[in-house]
Structure 1
Amino acid sequence: MKLGWYLKRLRNMEPAEVLHRLKEHQRKIVSRRRDDGWHRYPTAPLHPVFLSLRDALLAASSEQRQGIANAAEQTLQGRYSALGRDWPKRDTERLFPADFWRLDPVTDKLWAGAETHTFAVDYRQAGTFGDIKYVWEANRLQVLPVQAAHLVLSGDARARRAIQTAVESWHAANPPFRGVAWASGIEVALRAISLIITLDLVGDELDGETLKQIGAILVASAYWLQRFPSRFSSANNHLVAELAGEFLIGLSLGRKVDHLRHALIAETTKQILPDGLAAEQSPTYGAFTAELILLCAAASQAAGTPFPASATQRLAAFADAAAWLPRGVSYGDDDEGRALTLGGEEDYVPSVASAIHGFLQQPGLTTSPQDFRAIIFGRPSHAMPQPTGLKTFYQGGLSIWRGDINGRLVELTFDHGPLGYLSIAAHGHADGLAITLFVDGEPVLVDPGTYLYGSGGEWRDWFRSTPAHNTLNIEKTSQSVMSGKFNWSHKAAANLTDARPEPDWSLCAHHDGYKNRFGAVHQRRVERCAEGIQVRDRLLGTACNAEIVFQLAEGLTTHQTGNRMTVFRAGEPIVSLDLPDGAIESRAGGDHPGEGGWVSQRFGERQPADRIAWRGKVDDAGVVSLIKIVAPDNGVNEA
């Protein structure tokens, strides 16, 4: 790990964290000398955690059974896909060769293995090997619960062999604590969760050696998670995952877990805000956190110690908030992390919300008939429609309006929340006062997405920058100042200053991200008007040359007539933007960030999409952009 990373991180550390990091460094030195080898982590008797899981699986619907069978068959045929990439196809007789656990499918290079202690792997800087996310994804062993479910439902002997082969291969290739698979606590935890669910489904059908190897992995994982927890500025979703892993391992090993249960409950009320939104300013990271907590709540209930109302009410608040979000809306980082998955799912946030409502036996949104989580947690007591009207989440800093304009369903979000969670805001984007727009359930103005983490380089910076988002920027700079791939040295503070209710609703907010550098505070008012949505941008304090961006979804096209930019979907006009006097450009793609628009719908993928940019001087009086929703029956004339 490079010195520069520590120096950038040090700026956001309080004294207590500095002391913690020094002690952690000493523990790492000690561990490199003494903690290696499976002999130090003998297996222990294993106990069921999710007591009714097998019975719930046997009650699965035909659609759910088919979804499991399809996902399992992919693995049995030697195929593995994740994060927008396909791994090289493997021989069905050698589904999990040793190199599988180290292979980067993008660069075709192998990361460090058992020859290297995990603390010697510089995964944050080793860009030549690729993005560590890909290798870690395979090492989460999330294909094993799918094989276990398939084995229960079908009796397919290939699934049993696949599980036993994978465990044997992983155990041999990744002794404690060697190689990349042990380098991050969240990965250790998610792998343990996969093994525990696999055991609860088919533990009695696995051979003794496999059970012994799984037990050793869980014992070593428990030791590692307790010894190297994420704390202080790192105590985000990583901490929840680590606590969840340690808690579930503790139940599996028959250990005392009261302290872990209390810690999980405390994190629930920290990382899910009272209004239900995620403190990390990302719907998908919020869903990931909620799913992990939900798993632990279900296990704790099965053990006779249900989570208290303080925790279940926060889970319910998240599920209720998710019902307001437009399907597919994104903001902040999204690395497609899951606790349970069949792979390739698109409606993750609604699925977790539905699972929460199912577990609590509350009304909720309906999800796919193949929803895997619904098997474990149940479905909502009855279906509820998506809410309509104006909703402001004051703690999370997001307003949503859903309603009809010109015969079309319109969904708009307005971001007036903080940059992110904790001192480094690791997964936040510089998107203060950004809007998104969905028309008839399809995206029109979108958040650009994430693309890549460790190997993203300048593209990592672009996708979380202000110029990539649907807001105003000054001189193509970001509101908040980046200081590394998951760090910010200066953070813009946004505040909602005025909210007027329906029917002629209006929202006004500002942020101070440009105040010190340019002497200007950006204020944006978003309001309903007769023709659609009006957006007024002002720079309070000092007039500046600015750019106002409208990033379109992939597949949309534009046509400019004077100051009007009409947006088409499949040849039909759906939105027109009436922009102020000034320079107007619409461009997609480009060889370098900022040349045109890009969107990332999945981790590791990016697609060119038109980025409409207005440029001109903005002062206290402000400039107005009018978003007109084109009626479906007279759209050509309106445009």
Structure 2
Amino acid sequence: MTPARALWMVNRLRCMQPAELGYRLRQAGVAMLEKRGLLGTAREDLAATPAKLARRAAPPLAPGEADALLRAADRICAGHVVLFAAREYDVGANPEWNRDPATGVLAPARFSGDIAVTDRALVGDIKHLWELNRHLHLARLAQAALLADDPVYLRTLAAQLRGWLDQCPPLVGPNWTSSLELGIRLINWSLVWRLLGGDASALFAGAEGQRLRADWLHSIHAHCACIERHLSRHSSANNHLIGELAGLLVGAVTWPCWPASRRWREVAIAELETEAQRQFSPDGVNREQAFAYHVFSAEFLFVAALCGPTFSGAYWRVLERALCFLRSVRDAGGHVPMVGDADDGIVLRLGADGEDRAAQLLALGDAASDSAGARWLLHAFGAARPDLGARRSWAFPDGGYLLFGSRFGQAREILGMVDCGPLGYLGIAAHGHSDALALTLSVGAEPCLVDPGTYSYWQEPKWRDYFRGTCAHNTMRVDGVDQSVSGGRFMWTRKAAARIDKMPQSPGQFEFSGSHDGYRRLRDPVRHARHVQFDAAAATLLVRDELVARKPHRIEQFWHFAPGIDVALVAGGVRARGKSFELHLQASGSNLVLELVRGCENPPLGWYSRSYESREPCDVLKITTQSDGVPVVCRITIMFF
């Protein structure tokens, strides 16, 4: 074991409670039985025949939507598949399902429990490999088969599914290493099954079709059984658990064919009811403090509810509050601050490639909203859902976010946000960033002061550390160290706790005070307090940072501007111009040093990531000084053209 791996193990153990240690030991025993063939590989006889569903026409489509879907399906038939946000990879018409499309590495076809998915030499980039094997593109082929009388779509779908079943038998290879991935694959397999008529599908015509059906059902059973045995528990019970339970429920409802199906259904419903309440704050914020995973988790909850079972009113109220939060932080241009981790992973892709996932999610809850992806999902699953309305708010103190601004939803909108929430969820806070008291700002439906995003989970450690570190957020860093202490790529061992010291009364006359204890760990303990005032009438924002300590400390304040903003240093601050506005930031304090940094690599500073595995330079105003009791004050004035 390498020293780095040993340190990670120590840190991971420090984040566990005794009950989790016992659970991990039991899981190791289960894996040993699986490896010896004593669990999870035998074929299970069907106790009931899958239902034959009536093959329906496609849902109503807007002009051009059908043509766009068919073009995407034609690209798939030619071997080109879109992964993550909107990047296309050539995987061939008959993919090698254990080959990473990004690096070309072919992972070994051996017992899944023996595969180290973080070993790039062994599996390549596991995120890309898993994303391909979620089979979102197979649902696209099923859509095309409904839209066009061309057998090529069904032939391609059948050939790719046949190839997957042959190359990825139960518990063999990297595609059986994550229960979450199994759950997402089941959801997309269910979409294919439902769109094509269930057991009556033309996929199953003839002897080869019947063999495909039998092998597919065997794999579906193995997926459900494996998920049940390997549910994410304890410090790992975050969005993974919600996704696993949603997949298990969809599998049990779509294919109620085995004696265990009823148990899977009941377990999944009961635990989803619990996890919905547990993983979202009372005011609707996902507790992972990562907005992309807020969307991800809510998508799973919707899929589970739409596949047929009846969920409680409390469950739907969680979704109503979650949509209220998403709607509120989303600016008039559709931009959502990139708070916390994001990997662009998608549960399903039914609309056009690159469709706005936030808009799709909001359309699932608001009957007045429209989204092609929402229409297809409702068409495939068919269950009724309540109209959750279009409510907005500005104060989410339980979740840890407060909004300020004016003209919300209008062309001259000013929408700002203060982050005063926890670092993340559970013992490891896996997807949170060290961003206590950070601030973002959108002006005129255009992001201006931004959270730079995530970039990558598996690039060099310096990039993972930078994008989740304090200097990549619009807050203050002390003595060159992060507010919280990292114990690994998805783990924090010491967590800064933020609190609200003064609650504002409205978004337009906004006066907030907050502090955090992240630097109390220093030899000379430091308390960082931030005061934020916004005056809507004057369109001015005042940010005052104070440090309380016995001795002087080196402090750095950071302001990240979106790449499209034109930024220039001026006397005492910066001038920034967007498409419809100009912003002036004036800094005052004691012995301030101001510099504009862009695209620096060693150490990293001045980078922005629009999507997973992409980064580009952005301008960062860095204000440095030695603390002497004088606050650092930034006055920001906003003017529209």
Same fold (TM over 0.5): yes
Match of 2:94 in 1: 96
Q: Hey, what's the Cα distance between the residues in 2 that align with 1:8 and 1:283?
A: 26
What's the secondary structure of 2:489's corresponding residue? coil
Match of 1:471 in 2: 475
What's the secondary structure of 1:311's corresponding residue? helix
Aligned pairs for 1:617-628 within 5 A = 617-628=626-637
Match of 2:271 in 1: 263
Deviations 1:352-391 (A, max 9, x none): 1221234xxxx5x55579975465579999998885xx71
Q: Hey, what's the Cα distance between the residues in 2 that align with 1:270 and 1:492?
A: 21
Of 459-468 and 326-335, the range deviating more from structure 2: 326-335
What's the secondary structure of 2:307's corresponding residue? helix
Q: Hey, what's the Cα distance between the residues in 2 that align with 1:384 and 1:22?
A: 46
Aligned pairs for 1:498-509 within 5 A = 498-502=502-506, 503-509=508-514
Aligned pair 1:324/2:328, yes or no?
yes
Q: Kindly tell me: are residues 280 and 55 of structure 1, through their superposed partners in 2, closer, same or farther at Cα, counting changes over 3 Å?
A: farther
Match of 1:354 in 2: 363
Aligned pair 1:107/2:116, yes or no?
no
Q: Hey, what's the Cα distance between the residues in 2 that align with 1:70 and 1:496?
A: 51
Of 454-463 and 287-296, the range deviating more from structure 2: 454-463
Deviations 1:399-421 (A, max 9, x none): 11241599932110110000011
Match of 1:484 in 2: 488
Aligned pair 1:132/2:126, yes or no?
yes
Aligned partner (choices 422, 426, 436) of residue 422 of structure 1:
426
Aligned partner (choices 175, 180, 190) of residue 196 of structure 1:
190
Q: Kindly tell me: are residues 416 and 68 of structure 1, through their superposed partners in 2, closer, same or farther at Cα, counting changes over 3 Å?
A: same
Q: Hey, what's the Cα distance between the residues in 2 that align with 1:482 and 1:127?
A: 25
What's the secondary structure of 1:192's corresponding residue? helix
Q: Hey, what's the Cα distance between the residues in 2 that align with 1:369 and 1:243?
A: 22
Q: Hey, what's the Cα distance between the residues in 2 that align with 1:38 and 1:385?
A: 47
What's the secondary structure of 1:408's corresponding residue? coil
Q: Hey, what's the Cα distance between the residues in 2 that align with 1:559 and 1:573?
A: 15
Deviations 1:91-113 (A, max 9, x none): 5xxx123x2x122233222222x
Q: Kindly tell me: are residues 59 and 367 of structure 1, through their superposed partners in 2, closer, same or farther at Cα, counting changes over 3 Å?
A: closer
Aligned pair 1:515/2:520, yes or no?
yes
Match of 2:173 in 1: 179
Give, in angstroms, the shift of residue 260 of structure 1: 1.8
Aligned pair 1:253/2:255, yes or no?
yes
8 A Cα contact 1:504 1:528, kept in partner: yes
8 A Cα contact 2:575 2:584, kept in partner: yes
Aligned partner (choices 199, 203, 206) of residue 203 of structure 2:
206
Q: Kindly tell me: are residues 367 and 476 of structure 1, through their superposed partners in 2, closer, same or farther at Cα, counting changes over 3 Å?
A: farther
Give the total of aligned pairs: 610
Aligned pairs for 1:80-91 within 5 A = 80-83=81-84, 86=87, 88-89=89-90
Of 348-357 and 273-282, the range deviating more from structure 2: 348-357
Aligned partner (choices 224, 227, 252) of residue 226 of structure 2:
224
Match of 2:242 in 1: 240
Q: Hey, what's the Cα distance between the residues in 1 that align with 2:398 and 2:107?
A: 41
Aligned pair 1:143/2:153, yes or no?
no
Match of 1:334 in 2: 342
What's the secondary structure of 1:206's corresponding residue? helix
Letter in 1 for 2:338: S
Q: Hey, what's the Cα distance between the residues in 2 that align with 1:235 and 1:177?
A: 22
Match of 2:459 in 1: 455
Q: Kindly tell me: are residues 292 and 154 of structure 1, through their superposed partners in 2, closer, same or farther at Cα, counting changes over 3 Å?
A: same
Aligned-pair Cα RMSD in Å: 2.8
Identity of aligned residues (%): 29
8 A Cα contact 1:63 1:369, kept in partner: no
Deviations 1:584-631 (A, max 9, x none): 11121123343x300111011111111111111345542210111123
Q: Hey, what's the Cα distance between the residues in 1 that align with 2:88 and 2:556?
A: 41
Deviations 1:98-143 (A, max 9, x none): x2x122233222222x2x2111111124367532100000011111
Aligned pair 1:409/2:418, yes or no?
no
Match of 1:586 in 2: 596
Give, in angstroms, the shift of residue 456 of structure 1: 4.3
Q: Hey, what's the Cα distance between the residues in 1 that align with 2:286 and 2:389?
A: 22
Deviations 1:29-67 (A, max 9, x none): 221111589654566755359x79x64833344454344
Match of 1:163 in 2: 157
Aligned pairs for 1:389-400 within 5 A = 391-400=394-403
Q: Kindly tell me: are residues 550 and 398 of structure 1, through their superposed partners in 2, closer, same or farther at Cα, counting changes over 3 Å?
A: same
Q: Hey, what's the Cα distance between the residues in 2 that align with 1:380 and 1:175?
A: 36
8 A Cα contact 2:585 2:635, kept in partner: yes
Letter in 1 for 2:211: E
Aligned pairs for 1:597-636 within 5 A = 597-632=606-641
Letter in 2 for 1:14: Q
Deviations 1:323-352 (A, max 9, x none): 101232210011122221147425212321
Match of 1:637 in 2: none
Of 422-431 and 495-504, the range deviating more from structure 2: 495-504
Residue segments in structure 2 that go unaligned for 5+ positions in a row? 205-209
Letter in 2 for 1:188: L
TM-score normalised per structure 2 = 0.89
Give, in angstroms, the shift of residue 309 of structure 1: 0.4
Q: Hey, what's the Cα distance between the residues in 1 that align with 2:40 and 2:556?
A: 57
Residue segments in structure 1 that go unaligned for 5+ positions in a row? 633-639
8 A Cα contact 1:532 1:627, kept in partner: yes
Letter in 2 for 1:96: N
What's the secondary structure of 1:268's corresponding residue? helix
Letter in 2 for 1:526: V
Aligned partner (choices 282, 293, 296) of residue 288 of structure 1:
296
Letter in 2 for 1:333: D
What's the secondary structure of 1:22's corresponding residue? helix
Q: Kindly tell me: are residues 345 and 85 of structure 1, through their superposed partners in 2, closer, same or farther at Cα, counting changes over 3 Å?
A: closer
What's the secondary structure of 1:229's corresponding residue? coil
Q: Hey, what's the Cα distance between the residues in 2 that align with 1:162 and 1:620?
A: 68
Letter in 2 for 1:590: C
Give, in angstroms, the shift of residue 205 of structure 1: 1.8
Q: Kindly tell me: are residues 404 and 159 of structure 1, through their superposed partners in 2, closer, same or farther at Cα, counting changes over 3 Å?
A: same
Letter in 2 for 1:411: L
Of 252-261 and 78-87, the range deviating more from structure 2: 78-87
Q: Hey, what's the Cα distance between the residues in 2 that align with 1:120 and 1:237?
A: 24
Q: Kindly tell me: are residues 456 and 375 of structure 1, through their superposed partners in 2, closer, same or farther at Cα, counting changes over 3 Å?
A: farther
Aligned partner (choices 576, 584, 591) of residue 584 of structure 2:
576
Give, in angstroms, the shift of residue 321 of structure 1: 1.4
Match of 1:68 in 2: 69
Q: Hey, what's the Cα distance between the residues in 2 that align with 1:46 and 1:443?
A: 53
Deviations 1:396-451 (A, max 9, x none): 10011241599932110110000011110111111111111111111111111111
Aligned pair 1:307/2:311, yes or no?
yes
Q: Kindly tell me: are residues 44 and 478 of structure 1, through their superposed partners in 2, closer, same or farther at Cα, counting changes over 3 Å?
A: farther
Of 120-129 and 557-566, the range deviating more from structure 2: 120-129
8 A Cα contact 1:85 1:604, kept in partner: no
Deviations 1:490-522 (A, max 9, x none): 000011111232342211111100112141111
8 A Cα contact 2:444 2:581, kept in partner: no
Match of 2:26 in 1: 23
Q: Hey, what's the Cα distance between the residues in 1 that align with 2:83 and 2:127?
A: 10
Q: Kindly tell me: are residues 552 and 392 of structure 1, through their superposed partners in 2, closer, same or farther at Cα, counting changes over 3 Å?
A: same
Give, in angstroms, the shift of residue 579 of structure 1: 1.4
